[in-house]
Amino acid sequence: MNTMAGTEYTMPRADFDKPVKILVVVAPFYRDVADQLIAGALAEIEASGGTHEVIEVPGALELPTAIGIAERMSKFDGYVALGCVIRGETTHYETVCNDSSRGLMLLGLQGLCIGNGILTVENRDQAEARSDPARMNKGAGAAAAALHLIALVRKWGSARKGVGFVPAVDEYRIAGDMKDTPKA
């Protein structure tokens, strides 16, 4: 019995006045599924006028780490995490699903724009249905999520200045007058 309560809603594509740059991070354990997810994600990014770079990591647990490293060491507007975890006979499935998603969520709560495209499925048929760009297209959905978050960041502008005490050295930096910075 189908327990879906209706049809899925898809938001209109995010619109940008200047192009976005997205890092697509892929755990290709199931290569054919990963390739389908990548195809869907790249098509969505390109349809929004964005550019992309694709890197691979060993597994789903490494996706958040790679994104965290990229955020510290590179310049991307957002990230798409792609991979597939198929339930096996052990509890490893729950560990990988929960911890990879938790890692991405924690990065998102820190302000990173991340689309989570890690499939967590019971079998290969479910993985193939969700990765196929002509069917459920979850790669494109993850890219669209990242793009919508980037659009929100751009809409709301830059980070606000803090409130409270500012050290004297930082006051000079903020004012742009570094030549008069006091010596320690």
Active site residues: 92
**For the chain, how many helices (H) and strands (E)?**
6, 4
Distance CA 65, CA 15 (A): 29
Let me know: does 81 contact 45? Beta carbons within 8 Å: no
Q: Which residue has the tokens 């499939």?
A: 119
Tell me the residue length of the chain.
184
Name 81's bridge partners.
25, 116
Let me know: does 23 contact 37? Beta carbons within 8 Å: no
